[in-house]
Amino acid sequence: MTTTAVLITGTSSGIGRATALRLAARPELTVYATARRPGTLADLAGAGARTLALDVTDEESMTAAVRAVEAEHGSVGVLVNNAGYGEYGTVEETDLDAVRRQFDTNLFGLARMTQLVLPGMRAAGHGRVVNVGSMGGRMVFPAGGYYHASKYAVEAVTDALRFEAAPFGIQVSLIEPGLIRTEFGGTAARTLAGSAAPTGPYAGLNDAADRQMAQSYRSRLLSAPPEAVAKVIERAATGARPKTRYVVTPAAKLLVHSRRLLGARVFDAYLRQQFRATA
């Protein structure tokens, strides 16, 4: 039986892992689950996925992974650009080397993986690219400007790619999750804590941001498990008419539309209430 090759980045945990597990259960798909350390993917291999080493900040690693899939299938049928993380801190205090590393993963890795699979997709006359962005590509919270900037950039690249790739039979979708209960929240909190001195000028704001993140990720009303995103990625990867955008979680949909309708001044007033420093 001929199967469609699905290449997913960043599957060692969270959304990527849940997506690999879900898609590996479909007999018409051959799922390639990837991570910098493939030894972390044993459970995915047991579930039927094939595993590859892939670091989206390393050219040789990316090229080798794509070549391995193309050697067996001719082309990558679906690329899921999932790898990413949050580097948090204020604009003034965050180390720019850390910001560059974040963009290397969140944007440039995504872009390079896309460049590598497109020639094969064009030759095949079909393919799909599913980019995992964030509701943070549509709105901004304080102490997260650089993370949001990387996701705004993913929005722009995805919009351009969708138009450019369409004549070749390649469909492009953007997934915009809200708060998802993964390791992302913990990583964001650690980078926020390490971005500035505890008694610095933004100490109150950083404390408030840390408190808001902790409360929001604990909330079952505001957050969702990674399986909720995996289900949506499955629709984008396999549906007959995939949407251009999928906002995931009811809370994310409410926030995105509220930001659009309220405008900057009113939304800033809302943020001042939410991120008010405590004595």
What pLDDT, on the 0 to 100 scale, is given for residue 279? 39
**Would you call 147 a catalytic residue per the annotation?**
yes
Structure tokens at 48: 């039927």
What pLDDT, on the 0 to 100 scale, is given for residue 188? 62
What pLDDT, on the 0 to 100 scale, is given for residue 217? 86
What pLDDT, on the 0 to 100 scale, is given for residue 190? 66
Of the candidates 32, 88, 151, 246, the residue annotated as catalytic is 151
Alpha-carbon gap, residue 87 to 187, rounded angstroms: 8
3-state secondary structure of 277: coil
Residue 32 bridge partners (DSSP) = 7, 50
Q: For every one of its 279 residues, what pLDDT tens digit does the chain have, with 9 covering 90 and above?
A: 678 999 999 999 999 999 999 999 999 999 999 999 999 999 999 999 999 999 999 999 999 999 999 999 999 999 999 999 999 999 999 999 999 999 999 999 999 999 999 999 999 999 999 999 999 999 999 999 999 999 999 999 999 999 999 999 999 999 999 999 987 767 666 667 677 777 889 988 988 888 888 888 889 889 999 999 999 999 999 999 999 999 999 999 999 999 999 999 999 999 998 887 543
Alpha-carbon gap, residue 247 to 78, rounded angstroms: 20
Structure tokens at 226: 């990674």
Can you name the CATH fold of 4-274?
Rossmann fold (3.40.50)
What pLDDT, on the 0 to 100 scale, is given for residue 10? 97
What pLDDT, on the 0 to 100 scale, is given for residue 189? 64
What pLDDT, on the 0 to 100 scale, is given for residue 111? 98
82 close to 19: Cβ distance less than 8 angstroms: yes
Of the candidates 85, 147, 217, 246, the residue annotated as catalytic is 147
**Would you call 151 a catalytic residue per the annotation?**
yes
What pLDDT, on the 0 to 100 scale, is given for residue 35? 97
Q: Strand (E) positions, the chain?
A: 4-8, 29-35, 50-53, 78-81, 127-132, 170-177, 179-180, 223-224, 245-248
